[in-house]
Amino acid sequence: TGGHTTEILRLLTCLSESYSPRHYVLADSDKMSEAKIRSFEQKRAETYSKSQFTLDRIPRSREVRQSWISSVVTTLYSILYSLPLTYKRKPDLILCNGPGTCVPVCLSAFLLGLLRIKRTIIVYVESICRVETLSLSGKILYYFSDYFIVQWPDLKKKYPKSVYLGRIV
């Protein structure tokens, strides 16, 4: 919601027209991001006339200040909800940047790859505000992503699998 959406839309401005259709996945309780995405896509359509996108909603895996034990249950529910969506969309690439909503989607895609249904490249970009430590999503997806991008050199030192490209958003 808000900051993560702004960051991901900044990243998407660099993508060519060949990255179409784009499938956005939002938490069902996220009220702000849909308007930002629609505005972004409307502007993009002015440049790329064949631009296509969809919006899908899944249950939020973890609310702010939710207990760790209950968040395990809600995350499992969100993963189960994400599996049919990921199977239906069969994305070639997942580009995500940290909201908890990306974890169930990435894990679903990873599972589809293990089952040899569809191999999806997962690119995780840690939020620019994460200077010294990874977010919870980052700590989980560090092990499942194909490319793990950090925006601060200290994180690269702590997480050798990561790729440091400087500040990209």
Per-residue pLDDT of the chain (169 residues), as tens digits, is 568 898 999 999 988 888 999 999 999 988 899 999 999 999 999 988 888 999 999 998 877 777 878 888 889 999 999 999 999 999 999 999 977 889 999 999 999 999 999 999 999 999 888 989 999 899 999 999 999 999 999 999 999 999 999 888 7
> Which domains, from first to last, does the chain contain?
2-164 (3.40.50)
Q: What is the per-residue pLDDT for 3?
A: 82
- The CA distance from 139 to 134, in Å, is 6
C-alpha distance from residue 27 to each of 63, 111, 138, 152, 163 (Å): 10, 20, 18, 27, 27
Q: Coil, strand, or helix at residue 35? A: helix
Q: What is the per-residue pLDDT for 168?
A: 84
Strand partners, 121: 93
Q: What is the per-residue pLDDT for 69?
A: 84
- The CA distance from 60 to 46, in Å, is 32
Amino acid at 166: G
Question: Please, are residues 99 and 27 in contact by the beta-carbon 8 Å criterion?
Answer: yes
**Closest by Cα among 89, 123, 106, 152 to 11:** 123
